[in-house]
Amino acid sequence: MMTRSSRRGPALIGMLAAAAILTAGCTTTVGGTPAADTAPPSEGPGSDPVAWADRVCESVLSFAVPATSAPDFSRSADLPAVQRTVSSYLDTVIAGAQRGQAQLTEVGRAPEPGGDEAARRTQDALRALEEDFDGVKTTVDRTSPNDPAAFMTTLAQVESKVSAVAPPNPLGDLAAAPRLHRAAERSARCQQLSALASDAPR
């Protein structure tokens, strides 16, 4: 005759066996290190439009900051010193334009197609500004300060060129891409660029 305890024995063994199987199955299923959610892309569709606009405006600032920081060379009578100062300033501006172009190659694809066209226009503008300032520097370096009249004419041309500088305007170029334009308005670098353009002497 089977007692109550003997009936519980097989049942208990069956439960333990089932628990072992389930435990082994769970271990196999969830083994390894849990993975975090996939991070958003750093460029292209789905990427952060504010971060992208920030990178574009930072590239323009690389040129605009030195370009709008021209030394006051109008009050010195030491023309060779003025020539060195102006040439050094132009070197800084040219290097800024080159640095901005290099940075633009690293901004990545825009979150929206319209942004890629704006970045291309900015790249073209920086390249043209580099060439313009390089030409001005060549003129300055070749003009002898021993010929005051010719040298002062050259300085006047430099001042005219600097006052007419119009840095690339990513905010304006992004007007055709409203989402990116709104993102640029929230970008710290784009706000800095807008403030710099507003404060520049006219």
- Tens digit of pLDDT at every position of the chain (202 positions): 444 444 444 443 343 333 332 333 434 444 445 544 466 777 788 889 999 999 999 999 999 999 988 888 777 788 999 999 999 999 999 999 999 999 999 999 999 988 999 999 999 999 999 999 999 999 999 999 999 999 999 988 888 888 787 778 888 888 888 999 999 999 999 999 988 877 665 5
Q: How many separate domains does the chain show?
A: 1
Amino acid present at 136: V
At 21 the three-state DSSP class reads helix
In a domain, 13, yes or no: no
Please give the residue range of the domain that contains residue 83: 49-71+79-199
Angle at which helices 188-199 and 49-67 cross, to 10°: 30
| pLDDT of 5 | 47
Residue 34 lies in a domain: no
Q: What is the Cα 182 distance to its own chain's centre?
A: 16
> pTM score > 0.85 for this model?
no
Residue 23 forms part of a structural domain: no
Is residue 30 in a domain? no
Residue 32, classified by CB atoms within 10 Å of its CB into exposed (0-12), middle (13-18) or buried (19+), is: exposed
Confirm whether 83 is domain-assigned.
yes
> What pLDDT does residue 76 have?
76
Sign of CA dihedral 81, 158, 132, 69: positive
DSSP 8-state symbol, 46? T
Say if 124 falls within a structural domain: yes
- In angstroms, rounded to a whole number, what is the distance separating the alpha carbons of residues 30 and 28? 6
- Say if 44 falls within a structural domain: no
Phi-psi region of 19 (alpha: psi -120 to 50; beta: other; left: phi over 0): alpha
Using CA atoms, how far apart are residues 32 and 117, in angstroms rounded to an integer?
45
**Residues 6 or more apart from 109 whose CB is under 8 A from it?**
43, 44, 47, 116
Evaluate whether 132 touches 81 at the Cβ level (below 8 Å). no
What pLDDT, on the 0 to 100 scale, is given for residue 101?
Answer: 97
Domain-embedded: residue 7: no
